[in-house]
Structure 1
Amino acid sequence: MKQLVELGYIEEPNENTDEAVRETTRELKYNLAQSYMDGGRLGEATEILEEIWSDWPREARFGLNLIACLGGLGRVEERGLAIDRLALNANANFKWALEELERLRPEADEYGIKLPRPKVDSAGELAEESVTVDEDADTAVDAANDDAEGEDAASKEPPKKLTFAIRKVMSLLQPMGSTLSWLSMQQAVMTDDHDRARKFLEAMEQGEKTEESLDLQLGIGEARFSMGDIDAAADRFARALEIDDENSSARLGLARVAVAREDWERGIEEALTTTELLFQNPTAHFMLGRSLEGVGDDDHAKIAYGVALGQAPGMIDAREALIGLLDRVGPREEADQHRKTLEEVREVMSRDTAIANDDVVALAEDIRASRVDRRATLDFDRTVEAVSDRKPVVVVSGLPRSGTSMMMQMLANGGVPAFSDGNREADEDNPRGYFEHEKSTRLGSDASWVPEARGQAVKIVAQLLPFLPRGERYRVIFMDRDLHEIVKSQRVMLDRMERKGGRLTDARMMSTLDAQVAQVERLLARRPDIDSIFVDYASVLADPAGETRRIADFLGGEFDVDAMVGGVDKTLRNQGSDRGAATSE
C-alpha cells in the first residue's frame, strides 16, 4: 500500500481511521458494482451505486455508472432524475473546487506549483463551460520542480496529500457540459421528446470531435434511428465503420437500417457479420430472423428468432415475430404457448402501457401495488445509531402537496416545536400555513444549519432528503398520498400562481414522482442514522386519532395526542371534492 502511494498510483489513506475504512469499503463496493454491470446484473449494481453516490456526491463516476444501469433497466424516469442530480452535483462541486483551489494556493506556492486561475463569466455566475485557465499556468501537479536538482529538489518536493488534493480539485473543474448534453439528448429520445433531441443532435453533429469519435458516431446513429431518421442513422453507422471496421455495434446499426428499408439481403449480410463479431447479441439474431423471413427462408428465420429469445426472453418484438411466423406455417400449439408467455411479459410492462395511454387510474393502481411490494423488501424499522448528546431532528417529508404542512401543524399542536421562519404566509393553497424554513430549501447546497433543528420538526421536500448530512439522528415522517391527487393539486396551485410547470402528461408525471419516492425509500432503508415511518394522507383524514397514536409511538416521548388530532383539517375528509384534492400541502 505504501509503495503504491509513494509511486502516485493511489491516494494516501485518510488520517482518520474510520474515514479511511469507509473510503476503502466504498472502493470495494464500486468494484463489485462494476463486476455486476459486466455480468449484466444491473439491478444489483444500481443498489450499490445509489448508496455510494449518495454518500460521495463528488464522485461523478458513481453517478455516470448509475445512469447507465438505469437506462439498461428501462427505468427512464429514474434515469432522468439521476441526470438532474448529476447536474446539480456538478455545479456544487464546481463551486467547492474553486474555493478549495484558493485554499490550496498558498501551500502550492511554497512548492513552486502554479495553480490555474479559473475565470467565470455572466456577472460572477459559475458556468463550467466558461472556465478558462491562464495560458502561462503550468499543469498543477506535473509542473512542480521539473527543473529542480539535488537537495533543492528534495526540499521542495510537495507532499503526496497536497498533490492528490490538487488533482481532485482539477478533476472537478473539468467541464461536464458536453456529458450532460449527451445524457439529456439520450433522455429526450427515450421520452419521445424528438424536437428537443434533434436540437441536441444538430449541435453535436457540428462539433469538430464528432468526426473522429467512434462513440459519438454510434450514439448519434442510435438516436437518429430511434427517431425514424433512417438515412441519417445509416450515414453515422457507416462513418463509425470507417473508424473501426470490426465494430459490432456499427454492423448491427446497419442491419437494423437494412430491415427498416426491407433490404433483406443486406440485412442478412450485416446481421450475420454482427453475430460473427459478437454472438451474444439478441437484437442481431432478431434482425437476422426478420431478414430471413423476408426472403422466404422460414425454417432458418424460426431458428434465428429462437436464438434471440433464448438470449433475451423479454424481447417482445422477437416473440411477436415468431408468433406471426408460427401462425402462418405452424405448429399452432407452439404459437399459443408463445402467446401465453407474451401476455406474462406484457403484464410486467403494464405501467409503460398506462403511461403511453395516459391512463391515470390504471397507473395509480399499479403504483399502489408496486409500493407495497417495494417496501416489503426494505427494512425501515431499525435502531438509529446512537449520538448520546444530540436530540433527533424530526423531518417531515414527502412530495409537494402530499400533506406535509398538515403534519407539521399536528406536530406543533402536539408539542414538537416547528423549525420555521414564518416567511411564507398562509394562503388559499395552505390556509393554515406552510411551516417552512428558507434554510431547508437550500439543503442541497448548504447543510450547515441542520444542527439548529435538533429537537424540532423541520419540513424537507422528498427530493432533498439525500442531502441530509451524517452525524445527526433523524426521525423521518414521510407523507404518502395518491399521486393523481398530488398531480392535480400541483396543477391547481400552478394555475393559481399563473405558472406553467412541467410539460409532462399526468401519467408521466405520476411515474416520475413515484420514481422519486422509490429512491427515497431505498435511502431511508439504507441510512443507519435515519428511522422512518410512512403516513398515508387519506388515512390521517379518515382516522386521525389512530394515525396520531401511531406517529406518537414512533417518535417516543410525551405528546398531546388530542391536540395533534386538532391539527387535521376535517373539511378535507371528502377526498372526492376538488378542494380535498387541491388544498393542504
Structure 2
Amino acid sequence: MDGGIYKQAAEILERLYNSWPMEHRFGFKLAGCYQSLGRTADLRRLVSTLIERRIEDANTAAATLKSLKLDDPEVQKAEKERIANMSDLEKQKFGRERRELIARARPNFFSLRYLEACVDFAERRYEDALAKLEQLDSDYGARRNALVLRGEVCQRLKRWEQSKVAFNEALEIDPESSGPLLGLARTALAAKDYEAAARYARESIGLLFFQPRAHYIHGLAQYRLGCYEEAEHAF
C-alpha cells in the first residue's frame, strides 16, 4: 500500500480478511485499497460488513466483560490474588488478553463513521459525505484524515476556499503529511496560482515521491508558467 501498488495489496488483504474476518484491521486496510482502486461497489459492501462485524464483536466483548463482574469488590480481590500467584509470562499474557478484550468492547466510532463518509465520497454523494464529516468534527474533534477528505469533498463541490481551509488545518495537525499539500496544490491550480501550485506539489512529492497526481499537477503548473522543460520532466 505504501508503494501505491493497491491491486496486489488488495489481493493479499482479501485473503487475510477472508481467513480472519474478525481482524478488523485487515478490513480497514482493504477499504483503503478499494477506495484507491475506484472499486466503489466493493467498498460499499466491505464497509457495511466491516461495521456490522465490528459492532457485533463489541457487543460480544462487552457481554464478556459484564459477565466477569469486575466491579464486584470480592471479584477484584480474588483476581488480584490470582494474578499475584502467576508467573511473569502468565501476567503478561493475562494483561494482554484483558487489554484486547477492553479494546474490542470499545469500537472506534470515529473510524467507522469516517469509512461511511469515504463511501459517500466514492459514490459522489458529496453533500452526504460532508454532513458526516461535520458530525465527526462535532463529536470527536478535527482529525487529519477527515480534514483531508473534507478538503477533497469541497473540491468536488468547487468550494475552493473551504477546501483550502480544511487542507491547511490538516497540515497543522501533521506537517509531514503529503496529502494536505497535494490538496493545496490542486486548490492553487484551480485558482490559477501556478507558482503556489508548483510549490505545494513539489513539497508533497518531497514527502512522498510515488504520487502520479502530484507529478501531474506539478507539470501542469510548470506548463502554465511557461517552464516547459520542467513540465516535461514532471510529466
Distance (whole Å) between structure 1 residues aligned to residue 3 and residue 206 of structure 2: 21
Matches within 5 A, 1:439-478: none
The aligned residue for residue 542 of structure 1 is: none
- Residue 196 (1) aligns with residue 128 (2): yes
Distance (whole Å) between structure 1 residues aligned to residue 62 and residue 176 of structure 2: 44
Distance (whole Å) between structure 2 residues aligned to residue 166 and residue 63 of structure 1: 23
Q: 2:29 aligns with which of 61, 65, 85?
A: 65
- Residue 95 (1) aligns with residue 59 (2): yes
Q: 2:161 aligns with which of 231, 234, 238?
A: 231
Q: TM-score, normalised by structure 2?
A: 0.83
**8 Å contact from structure 1 (residues 292, 301) kept in 2:** yes
- Residue 183 (1) aligns with residue 120 (2): no
RMSD: 3.0
**8 Å contact from structure 1 (residues 189, 226) kept in 2:** no
Q: 1:247 aligns with which of 144, 163, 177?
A: 177
The aligned residue for residue 78 of structure 1 is: 42
**8 Å contact from structure 2 (residues 133, 146) kept in 1:** no
Deviation of the 1:161 alpha carbon? 5.3
Distance (whole Å) between structure 2 residues aligned to residue 228 and residue 90 of structure 1: 35
- Residue 286 (1) aligns with residue 216 (2): yes
Matches within 5 A, 1:22-33: none
Gap regions ≥5 residues in structure 1: 1-36, 115-143, 306-585
Deviation of the 1:162 alpha carbon? 4.5
The aligned residue for residue 560 of structure 1 is: none
The aligned residue for residue 166 of structure 1 is: 98
SS of the residue corresponding to residue 21 of structure 2 reads coil
Q: Deviations over 1:143-167 (max 9, x none)?
A: x75xx8xxx9733777655444433
Give the residue type in structure 1 aligned to 2:215: H
Larger Rg: 1
Distance (whole Å) between structure 1 residues aligned to residue 32 and residue 55 of structure 2: 21
Q: Deviations over 1:246-284 (max 9, x none)?
A: 433222211110111111122122223333333332222
The aligned residue for residue 45 of structure 1 is: 9
Deviation of the 1:242 alpha carbon? 2.7
Matches within 5 A, 1:354-369: none
SS of the residue corresponding to residue 289 of structure 1 reads helix
The aligned residue for residue 203 of structure 2 is: 273
SS of the residue corresponding to residue 89 of structure 1 reads helix
**8 Å contact from structure 1 (residues 104, 166) kept in 2:** no
**CA 1:113–1:269 in structure 2 vs 1: closer, same or farther (change >3 Å)?**
farther
Higher relative contact order (CA closer than 8 Å, sequence separation 6+):
2
**CA 1:278–1:99 in structure 2 vs 1: closer, same or farther (change >3 Å)?**
closer
**CA 1:277–1:203 in structure 2 vs 1: closer, same or farther (change >3 Å)?**
same
Deviation of the 1:286 alpha carbon? 0.9
Distance (whole Å) between structure 2 residues aligned to residue 102 and residue 229 of structure 1: 48
**8 Å contact from structure 2 (residues 4, 210) kept in 1:** no
**8 Å contact from structure 2 (residues 114, 146) kept in 1:** no
Q: Deviations over 1:518-541 (max 9, x none)?
A: xxxxxxxxxxxxxxxxxxxxxxxx
Distance (whole Å) between structure 1 residues aligned to residue 36 and residue 126 of structure 2: 20
Give the residue type in structure 2 aligned to 1:202: E
SS of the residue corresponding to residue 206 of structure 1 reads helix
Give the residue type in structure 2 aligned to 1:294: R
**8 Å contact from structure 2 (residues 194, 222) kept in 1:** yes
**CA 1:113–1:95 in structure 2 vs 1: closer, same or farther (change >3 Å)?**
farther
**CA 1:257–1:113 in structure 2 vs 1: closer, same or farther (change >3 Å)?**
farther
The aligned residue for residue 548 of structure 1 is: none
**8 Å contact from structure 2 (residues 60, 105) kept in 1:** no
**8 Å contact from structure 2 (residues 69, 75) kept in 1:** no
Give the residue type in structure 2 aligned to 1:178: F
The aligned residue for residue 452 of structure 1 is: none
Deviation of the 1:84 alpha carbon? 0.3
Matches within 5 A, 1:309-328: none
The aligned residue for residue 361 of structure 1 is: none
Distance (whole Å) between structure 1 residues aligned to residue 223 and residue 12 of structure 2: 43
Distance (whole Å) between structure 1 residues aligned to residue 91 and residue 202 of structure 2: 57
**8 Å contact from structure 1 (residues 189, 227) kept in 2:** no
Give the residue type in structure 1 aligned to 2:44: G
**CA 1:304–1:91 in structure 2 vs 1: closer, same or farther (change >3 Å)?**
same
Give the residue type in structure 2 aligned to 1:203: Q
**CA 1:280–1:49 in structure 2 vs 1: closer, same or farther (change >3 Å)?**
closer
**8 Å contact from structure 2 (residues 83, 91) kept in 1:** no
Distance (whole Å) between structure 1 residues aligned to residue 66 and residue 176 of structure 2: 48
Deviation of the 1:79 alpha carbon? 0.9
**CA 1:100–1:304 in structure 2 vs 1: closer, same or farther (change >3 Å)?**
same
Q: Deviations over 1:449-501 (max 9, x none)?
A: xxxxxxxxxxxxxxxxxxxxxxxxxxxxxxxxxxxxxxxxxxxxxxxxxxxxx
Deviation of the 1:68 alpha carbon? 1.3
Deviation of the 1:245 alpha carbon? 3.7
- Residue 296 (1) aligns with residue 223 (2): no
Deviation of the 1:292 alpha carbon? 1.7
Give the residue type in structure 2 aligned to 1:254: L
- Give the aligned length: 232
Task: State, as a whole percentage, how many aligned pairs show the same letter.
Answer: 28
Gap regions ≥5 residues in structure 2: none
Give the residue type in structure 2 aligned to 1:174: R
**8 Å contact from structure 2 (residues 154, 163) kept in 1:** yes
SS of the residue corresponding to residue 11 of structure 2 reads helix
The aligned residue for residue 346 of structure 1 is: none
